[in-house]
Chains A and B, each alone.
Chain A
């Protein structure tokens, strides 16, 4: 699972009002090369929750992203875009878990696939 997906996912357990961002527990993280596409990144940037991406990339062991939420002028810098690209699309959580911030419920991640199935009493 890429951090792009992590940035979109929120816990939808019944009664949870703020299921975002899911905390990441890493057992194994891998990197996969993906083609660099600045257009996609520029299009995606306004939708990304920077804080969540920053925390997630730190947890995954990538500390290159700037602390401050970058403004849109940063998007012209190739260096920043490369880092953004790497954090968003190339870092994969292979084994581990996602934890709901409110209830602490664990969603296990196996072979890069998070199991988001809910139990009957959580629907």
Chain B
């Protein structure tokens, strides 16, 4: 994936004035960010008593995610490394406080004062070594260590991440565990390539009932067994004898793919999290000829 911004330049350089403006004026990104932060806030599982909390938004950028926090009435402190992004946040008059800082250098907060932390699409940047002095392991350690210190006991931290590979996810997760966090990864829509989202849900303090991982969102409850089998069929090589088969026999049927096939495809789409019309007696029926 060459389009990953992490591979282009360090964050403070990649998010320059033009990129920051582009980022914040795209309605698509705004919508995605709002959805992600909404979900992150849900996973944060703050006690439902209507009391505003002091939250931390790591990699707050232009404050798109912070806006969701403000909507829910919370006070927040945002941290970002890109001055341009923060300038836009100031322009947009976000309600939270902003800090220019590098999460890989550790967070300078007093111990135990923050009620929860969210971070949308930011932590994977830590896996890059952009300067000669950068060592991803140490930076992850400094970040998670300082985060653990400043969170109140029992508080949660939710990070939405786009790990490049399994190894990268492992790296992030193991750094978090070493810092003392309990928790793991929650995956929404695991079957979809597009709407698949990964959230790292971490709890501060000893494991308890509260630290139990919430379930990821899925299009449907069914297991992926038949999905796998259909993939296998497609990937199979064609036997030579098949190639010499008369053409006519290769056509499936004259009627088309049939109801069963349509239902199977709809099921697949549902599992990916797409919006699919419900099945009815009209599903996969042919139109009348006179139409």
Contact = CB atoms under 8 A, between A and B. Distances in A.
Interface of A: 1-2, 4-5, 7-12, 19-20, 34, 37, 39-40, 43-44, 47, 49, 89, 111-118, 120, 123
B197 to A, nearest CB: 29
B90 A9 contact: no
Given A12-B146, A47-B112, A117-B81, 20 more contacts: A2-B97, A9-B108, A10-B110, A12-B106, A12-B107, A20-B110, A34-B95, A39-B52, A40-B53, A43-B51, A89-B75, A112-B97, A112-B98, A113-B86, A113-B90, A113-B100, A117-B105, A118-B105, A120-B133, A123-B142
Contacts, number: 83
Interface of B: 50-54, 73, 75, 77, 81, 86-87, 90, 95, 97-102, 105-110, 112-114, 131, 133, 142, 146, 150
A32 B148 CA distance: 32
B90 A116 contact: no
Contact of A8 (B101, B114, B142): B114
A12 B113 CA distance: 16
A39 B86 CA distance: 29
B108 A5 contact: no
A118 B100 CA distance: 10
A4 B75 CA distance: 10
Contact of A111 (B90, B102, B105): B90
A116 B101 contact: yes
